[in-house]
Amino acid sequence: MKPESKPLIYSPNYNISFLGLEKLHPFDSCKYSKVVGFLEEANLIKTKHLVKPKKKPTYHHLLKVHSPAYLESLNTSLTVAQVTELLFLAAIPHFIIQKQVLDPFLYATSGSILAGHVAMERGWAINLSGGYHHCSFNQGGGFCAYSDITLCYHYVRQFYPKVKRVMIIDLDAHQGNGHENDKLHFDDEDAFILDMFNYAVYPGDKYAKQAINIAINAHDGIEDEEYLTKLESGLDQAFNVFKPDFIIYNAGTDILSGDPLGDMQLTANGVIKRDEMVFTSAFQNKAPIAMLLSGGYQQCNARVIADSIINLHKKFNLLDDVVLPTVQCKNCGKQFDPVNNKKGECSHTSTYHGTYGDCSYVKCALGLGSNIGYQHWGCCFKKDKNDNVCSKSKKHVS
């Protein structure tokens, strides 16, 4: 990805707002843009530097995880009404539902896939949506239409062959029965799941619970101190027995006090500390981490999410600009920035490098994003699309 890009994935297409839908479901379906707004107010980001999923996953992409029968079922308004738990949608023509409901889910799913790629390149990424942990290969539910978590690590494994062992840290208030059922269905022994949730609330999926490696009960009314103590113990146990190549962190904020569906009593500071603990564990274990926002059912959630990202930046300098080393042209000996080089800085650049280099491959492996992908300008990025050393880099720069 470009050096000025931030590992935050966002599209205005994430937001769901039509016919007052956002007022009829407890889920704040426009929280994603609010998070971006708060981060802009804090002068941490500019929208143009966010990674933007420009395309939706195709039917072919979704088939990597989903059954044809399930994808076909989403072509009916009734199924979408059941998945979103908004029964009035059953009476709305499907072409409207596709554009106003399913397309935002698809763009967010694209964002989760991109988050996996960005995390592998930068060490971390946050998709400002996604985390549809109730959806599995053959069934949706709980406002989750696509299995973006399973899709995320599926494509990370496909395009980064060294990645085999994946850890899912699911800290939404509800059981992540979607990715758990996927793990069982695909018999995936290299997926490790830590799931901390309220056993007393939806979905209560006993079959899916068999897939959990470490299950932690965050009971009704649990508060910061007890929650964080249990989480610390669970994280220590998880990393002692499993060394992940890649981590997906499902960071639901429905654990906040006052949430109508989570029934927990955590404060904003508790959520911020929780996220810091997870990122600390990932960095200490040198594992790339992709965070997804998942559930959160109050108007205050966007503010808490933004404050948590701000805290992560303060602790780990996550959003600092990337400074690339200059490289030396073998023809004239001049030093130049291989990414932002301008004509005239090195007399040979128009032949060998151009403005962005004639040996660059800046395309997402799935074609879903505009400013993410493999880059190999000069000696800073020497990998081509097949993960080989770029021959042009070797030839033209030291």
Q: Which residues are catalytic?
A: 134
Is the CB of residue 396 less than 8 Å from the CB of residue 352?
A: yes
DSSP one-letter code for 201 = S
Count of residues for the chain? 398
- For residue 214, the surrounding DSSP H or E stretch is strand 214-217
Query: Which residue is it, tokens 């959520």?
Result: 271
- Which spans in 85-185 are helix H? 94-97, 103-122, 148-159, 177-185
Contacts of 86 by beta carbon, 8 Å cutoff, 6+ apart? 21, 24, 25
Helix, strand, or coil here: 39?
helix
How many other β-carbons are positioned within 10 Å of the β-carbon of residue 280?
Answer: 14
The radius of gyration of the chain from alpha carbons, rounded to an integer in Å, stands at 22
Residue closest to 324 by CA, chosen among 377, 374, 360? 377
Q: Which tokens belong to 181?
A: 């059922």
d(CA 365, CA 159): 8
Yes or no: say if 1 and 121 are a contact pair by the CB < 8 Å rule: yes
Nearest 5 degrees, angle CA 22-CA 88-CA 106?
55
